[in-house]
């Protein structure tokens, strides 16, 4: 069993309130869940208005498959939303 994970630190330059941030972050998480079938959550920077830290994970039987899905998810976030990806880390562990 291989668990592939991605951590994203996102900058939300157009956001002025926590309510706006939550709306955008919820949309990103839901679209990642639906399109890539990953588990996704906001894991840090909860009180920051301009930044969000998301984590997502996928269980598969192949490191290449899992990391491929995570790379596609990263491209999807970069291209599909009005935000900047400040940091992205992809990692897999075999159990």
22-40 pLDDT, tens digit each: 999 999 999 999 999 999 9
Is residue 82 scored above 90 in pLDDT? no
CATH fold for the domain made of 2-94: Alpha-Beta Plaits (3.30.70)
Dihedral angle of Cα 34, 38, 39, 44, to the nearest 10 degrees:
-100
pLDDT confidence bin for 89, thresholds 50/70/90? very high
Report the predicted TM-score, pTM, of the whole model to 2 decimal places: 0.83
Round to whole Å and give the CA distance between 39 and 37. 7
Q: Indicate the angle between helix axes 18-36 and 63-80, nearest 10 degrees.
A: 140
Positive or negative, the Cα torsion across 21, 84, 68, 80? positive
List the domain boundaries for the chain. 2-94
pLDDT (average), residues 2-28: 91
C-alpha distances (whole Å) from 3 to each of 6, 21, 41, 70, 93 are 10, 29, 16, 11, 5
What's the chain's average pLDDT? Answer: 92
């Amino acid at each position: 069993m291989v668990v592939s994970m991605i951590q994203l630190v996102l900058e939300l330059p157009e956001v002025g309130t926590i309510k706006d941030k939550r709306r955008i972050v919820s949309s990103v998480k839901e679209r990642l869940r639906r399109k890539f079938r990953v588990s996704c959550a906001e894991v840090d920077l909860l009180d920051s208005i301009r930044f969000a830290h998301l984590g997502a994970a996928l269980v598969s039987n192949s490191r290449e498959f899992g990391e491929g899905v995570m790379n596609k998810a990263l491209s999807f976030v970069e291209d599909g939303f009005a935000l900047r990806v400040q940091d992205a880390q992809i990692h897999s562990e075999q159990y």
